[in-house]
Amino acid sequence: MASTTEIDVEDLTEDQARAELIALARNLADANTAYHAEDAPEISDADYDRLKRRNADIEARFPKLKLSDSPSDQVGAAPSAGFGKITHAVRMLSLGNGFTDEDVFEFDASVRKYLGLDADAPLAYTAEPKIDGLSLSLRYEKGVLVQAATRGDGAVGENVSANARTIADVPAALTGAPDVLEVRGEVYMSHADFESLNARQAAQGGKTFANPRNAAAGSLRQLDPEITRARPLRFFAYAWGSLSEPLAETQFGAIEALRAFGFETNPLTVVCDGPAEMIAHYTKIEVQRPHLGYDIDGVVYKVDDLELQSRLGFRSTTPRWAIAHKFPAELAWTVLEGIDIQVGRTGALSPVARLSPVTVGGVVVSNATLHNQDYIEGRDSKGQQIREGKDIRVGDLVQVYRAGDVIPKVADVDISKRPDDAVAYTFPTVCPECGSDAVREPGDAVRRCSGGLICPAQAVEKLKHFVSRAAFDIDGLGAKQVEQFYADGWIAEPAEIFTLEARYGTGLQQLKNREGWGEKSARALFAAIEDKRKIPLARLIFGLGIRHVGEASANMIALHYGTWAALEAAMEQARPREGDAWEDLISVDGMGAVMAGSLVGAFAQEAERASILRLVAQLDVQEAVRADTSGSPVAGKTVVFTGTLEKMTRAEAKARAERLGAKVAGSVSARTDLLVAGPGAGSKAKKADELGIETLDEDGWLDLIAGL
Ligand code: IVH
């Protein structure tokens, strides 16, 4: 934002004001589109608020210059094409904002003034968290969910009924509700679900999201409701639109009614008897904020008495009876003292900012991520400017941002404070740990060390991953011990963990003499290692630390191939990245071409393959078996679904077949045992016919698995 060149509103000429209002309207419209219609914000919330405030300030000084479609009168963005439109029977409005305690007292004073109440007349308010998601309006008729709509521009929203039905917190039917009930609330995603969704997306080469709110918006606004179903969305009810009869006499009573109908309502909702109590509740919620597990960005106060609410009514876009008391952004400015490069398990060179320690939202921060080379240089992954193209240099005053439990990041830089001797940062082209070339493949935002296992940083990180809880989980062998053993040359790769006793066996002597070890702990360690020789296939696959292969994927891969021998053979056959073995690999649930390529690549790379085989030679790998599928006629069979299924969705058919021990593949090959073909089946049915593969229609399939 060009705050340094901005003219004080008082000094603006009329011509300047007119030109700036037009420019602001355009910038705000672009930002709205990026945020609401594309779920990809281009400017920060704080910058957005600043633009809006500047617009309002200029309008206040030059009221006759206010544009007929001024951004001050708009909420959100117009609905995007693709979904049907729904005109809200009752407009979905936004809330006025307050930032300080004075703003809260002023809000109370303005309500009293409007109602003609004395300062000491009793007046209750509810106070509840402001959930940072997106609002949704759900229409129930005679207790049945008939329609769901996003806010859109407040008057017209998008019809997302099919998607809303996939959200677990959205009841399909209500008991005891009025004949017509429009429930409004917030769709959001928890921090934990957001993190795992992003990890899954990255592994499949898909889009990752900047924050839980964008992830929730992007997930709700999918044209294919099956995608929404697979996303962990949640919903809190906090308001209503049309009603055939009142819910209660108070806001709090109405929330209790919604809860009784079966909605989730926020447990931090309370009734307060005035501004002092409201502010106390705000402070309490602010303290709990980092531990809630979902994003909130303030506290909402509402007049509790619904009759008073209706007397108070609305201004153009906001109610007079409510206000959002926003939390200050968790931002701080500090000096960037240095940039360190960390080398990860997969060789990625990650720049880390070493900061002069600063408190951000109650936590002292001295490191923050700088993401990658482009980010430091002022570009995003598509080569577009970020921060108006400003680069980040050691010595700069930088802005640090923290949201919830997310790793802090360097968000902005103030180049007016840049020291004269600051030089542009040169991103290393060799690995700082092993000196190998660090290569950036076209299309990859990340530069990677090409040293593989000869790189000590990669080797240690791989070992740490190998012993981690979801992998081999060896008691007494954690990250610290692995680092020591590696540094002393005792363990260079996972296989050597299992030869440790043989090599240093008599050397129990040696181990127990080491600092931090005694006879008992040394014996316990060897026993713990011995215990993990017998290892489930899924843990082995995850433990290998292959890029993009997370814990859930490792499980699916293990179930798909069953044994180590089958997996190894398949990796060999899939090496050309085409053909049946490759197609079969891609058909594994949750697998994308990116993950499949990474897996095949690990087995194709000589040094890595040799290291894996040395490890497996030490182990007794347990076959992966599904839960009891005895009695299932399709256990162990490979099934392909094609054409339209009429009695269940594809996702449901697949999940059910897998529960019964079948393997569901995406394409027909000589390995296919059964094709289930609905109407409209084309090339797959033809191929199955040519290969003489048994084919059933949907009813035939349901008969086959009936009762299971
Ligand atoms: S009440 C007429 N309560 O904040 C007012 N809104 O900035 C209806 N929001 O559009 C809204 N938590 O998407 C209300 N507890 C809460 C809320 C909440 C989040 C969102 C909602 C609204 C926006 C306004």
Domain-ending residue, one of 575, 593, 622: 622
Q: What's the CATH code of the domain at 214?
A: 3.30.470.30
pLDDT (0 to 100) of residue 146: 94
Q: How far apart are CA 407 and CA 350, in angstroms?
A: 13
609 Cα–ligand 1 center, Å: 55
Give a yes or no: residue 402 inside a domain.
Answer: yes
Which distant-in-sequence residues (6+ apart) come within 8 Å of 261 by Cβ?
Answer: 171, 174, 175, 176, 177, 181
The predicted-structure confidence for 407-424, as pLDDT tens digits, reads as follows 788 989 999 999 999 999
Rounded to an integer, the average pLDDT of 210-229 is: 87
Q: What is the CATH number of the domain that holds 388?
A: 2.40.50.140
Q: How far apart are CA 638 and CA 673, in angstroms?
A: 5
> Are both 168 and 259 inside the same structural domain?
yes
225-235 tens-digit pLDDT:
888 998 999 99
DSSP 154-177: SSEEEB-HHHHTT-TTS-SB-SS-
Kindly give the interhelix angle for 564-573 and 551-561, rounded to the nearest 10 degrees. 90
Q: Which H or E element spans position 47? A: helix 45-61
The residue contributing the CA closest to ligand 1 atom 12 is 130
591 falls in which pLDDT band (50, 70, 90)? confident
Whose alpha carbon is nearest atom 1 of ligand 1?
239
- Domain annotation covers residue 282: yes
* Helix, coil or strand: residue 582: helix
For ligand 1, atom 9, name the residue with the nearest CA.
Answer: 130
Residue written as token pair 């809303």 = 164
**Would 633 be classed as within a structural domain?**
no
| For residue 2, pLDDT beyond 50 | no
- Ligand 1 centre from 204 Cα, in Å? 34
Q: Which residues contact 647 (CB under 8 A, 6 or more apart)?
A: 698, 702
Is the pLDDT at 103 greater than 50, yes or no?
Answer: yes
Pocket test for ligand 1, best of 75, 92, 130, 153 (most atoms within 8 A of CB): 130
For residues 145 and 284, state if they share a domain.
Answer: yes
Domain count, the chain: 5
**Is the same domain home to 245 and 152?**
yes
Angle between helices 456-467 and 479-487 (to 10 degrees): 140
116, 326 contact by CB (below 8 A)? no
Are residues 527 and 478 located together in one domain of the fold?
A: yes
Residues 179 and 263 grouped into a single domain: yes
Nearest to 127 by CA among 148, 106, 108, 152: 108
pLDDT (average), residues 660-683: 89
Among 267, 292, 316, the domain boundary falls at 316
Which pLDDT score is estimated for 363? 67
Question: Which ligand 1 atom minimizes the distance to the CA of 324?
Answer: 7
Question: What atom in ligand 1 is closest to the CA of residue 151?
Answer: 10
pTM of the model: 0.51
Pocket test for ligand 1, best of 186, 236, 265, 301 (most atoms within 8 A of CB): 186
366 shares its domain with 279: no
**Helix or strand (DSSP H, E) at 87:** strand 85-87
Residue 272 lies in a domain: yes
pLDDT of 537:
96
The pLDDT, as a whole number, for residue 6 is 75
Q: Which residue has the higher pLDDT, 49 or 199?
A: 199
Alpha-carbon distance values, 609 to 46, 329, 604 (Å): 50, 48, 7
Query: pLDDT tens digit string along 603-623?
Result: 999 989 999 999 999 999 999
pLDDT over 70 percentage in the chain: 94
* 57 shares its domain with 128: no
Distance 94 CA to ligand 1 centre (A): 6
**Residue 67 contacts by C-beta under 8 Å, 6 or more apart in sequence?**
21, 22, 25
Look at residue 438 and tell me if it is in a domain: no
Which token pair is 533?
């020789």
Examine the domain organization and report whether 526 and 543 are in the same domain: no
User: In three state form, how does the secondary structure of 439-461 look?
Assistant: ECCCCCCCCEECCHHHCHHHHHH
Point out the ligand 1 atom lying closest to the alpha carbon of residue 75. 10
The atom of ligand 1 lying closest to the CA of 128 is 15
**288 shares a domain with 178:** yes
616 and 579 together in one domain: yes
CATH of the domain at 568: 1.10.150.20
> Which one-letter amino acid corresponds to residue 505?
G
Residue nearest to atom 13 of ligand 1 (CA): 135
- What is the band of 658 on the pLDDT scale with cuts at 50, 70, 90? confident
Residue 651 sits in a domain of what CATH number? Answer: 3.40.50.10190
Each residue's pLDDT tens digit, 625-636: 876 677 788 988
Residue nearest to atom 6 of ligand 1 (CA): 130
Of the candidates 245, 189, 250, 243, the one whose C-alpha atom is nearest the C-alpha of residue 220 is 189
Residue 629 located in a structural domain: no
Q: Name the 3-class secondary structure at 553.
A: helix
CA of 222 to the centre of ligand 1 (A): 22
pLDDT, greater one: 77 or 281: 281
Pocket test for ligand 1, best of 75, 238, 326 (most atoms within 8 A of CB): 238
Q: Are 289 and 402 in contact (CB under 8 A)?
A: no
Q: How far apart are CA 163 and CA 223, in angstroms?
A: 8
pLDDT of the residue at 4: 37
Give the domain range for residue 599: 536-622
What CA–CA distance (Å, rounded) separates 177 from 144?
9
Q: How many CB atoms neighbour CB 441 within 10 A? A: 9
pLDDT reported for residue 301: 98
For residue 97, give the ligand 1 atom closest to its CA.
7
Three-state DSSP class for residue 106: helix
Are 132 and 244 part of one and the same domain?
yes
The residue with tokens 């998607």 is 163
pLDDT value at position 506? 57
Residue among 97, 135, 153 whose CB has most ligand 1 atoms within 8 A, to mutate = 135
Quote the ligand 1 centre to 105 CA distance (angstroms).
20
Confidence band of 3 (pLDDT split at 50, 70, 90): very low
Atom of ligand 1 nearest to the CA of 322: 5
Predicted confidence (pLDDT) at residue 1 exceeds the cutoff of 50: no
Q: How much distance in Å is there from the Cα of 130 to the middle of ligand 1?
A: 6
Across-strand partners of 452?
A: none
Q: What's the token pair of residue 310?
A: 């209706």
Q: Is 130 a catalytic residue?
A: yes
Query: What confidence score (pLDDT) does residue 38 get?
Result: 63
- On the question of pLDDT at 178 being above 90, the answer is yes
The β-bridge relationship of strands 638-642 and 663-665 is parallel
Ligand 1 atom 17: the closest Cα is on which residue? 130
- Report how far residue 259's alpha carbon sits from residue 454's, in angstroms, rounded to the nearest whole number: 59
**283 shares a domain with 143:** yes
Q: Where does a domain end: 417, 437, 469?
A: 417
The answer to whether position 337 is within a domain reads yes
Q: Which of 270, 300, 316 to mutate to test the pocket of ligand 1 (most atoms within 8 A of CB)?
A: 300
Calculate how far, in angstroms, residue 324's C-alpha sits from the geometric centre of ligand 1.
8
| Shortest-distance Cα residue to atom 15 of ligand 1 | 130
pLDDT in tens, 9-32: 888 888 888 888 888 888 887 777
Residue 355 confidence (pLDDT) above 90: yes
CB-based contact 662:559 (threshold 8 Å): no
Question: How confident is the model over 362-371, as a mean pLDDT?
Answer: 85
Residues framing ligand 1 (Cβ under 6 A): 93-95, 128, 130-131, 135, 186, 238-239, 300, 319, 322, 324
Q: Look over the chain and give the mean of its residue pLDDT values, rounded to a whole number.
A: 89
Pure H helices in 188-298 = 191-203, 212-220, 225-229, 251-261, 275-288
**pLDDT value at residue 575:** 94
Residue 432 domain-assigned?
no
- The C-alpha angle with vertex 198 and arms to 192 and 204, in degrees rounded to 5, equals 140
Cα of 231 from ligand 1 centre, angstroms: 23
Query: Which of 64, 85, 130, 687 does the annotation list as catalytic?
Result: 130
Higher-pLDDT residue of 47, 535: 535
Cα separation of 542 and 296, whole Å?
34
Taking the C-alpha atoms of 309, 314, 319 and 320 in order, what is their torsion angle to the nearest 10 degrees?
-70
Arithmetic mean of pLDDT, 450-475 = 93
For residue 666, what are the CA distances in angstroms to 114, 583, 624, 705?
Answer: 65, 8, 21, 20
**What distance in angstroms lies between residue 566's CA and the mean position of ligand 1's atoms?**
54
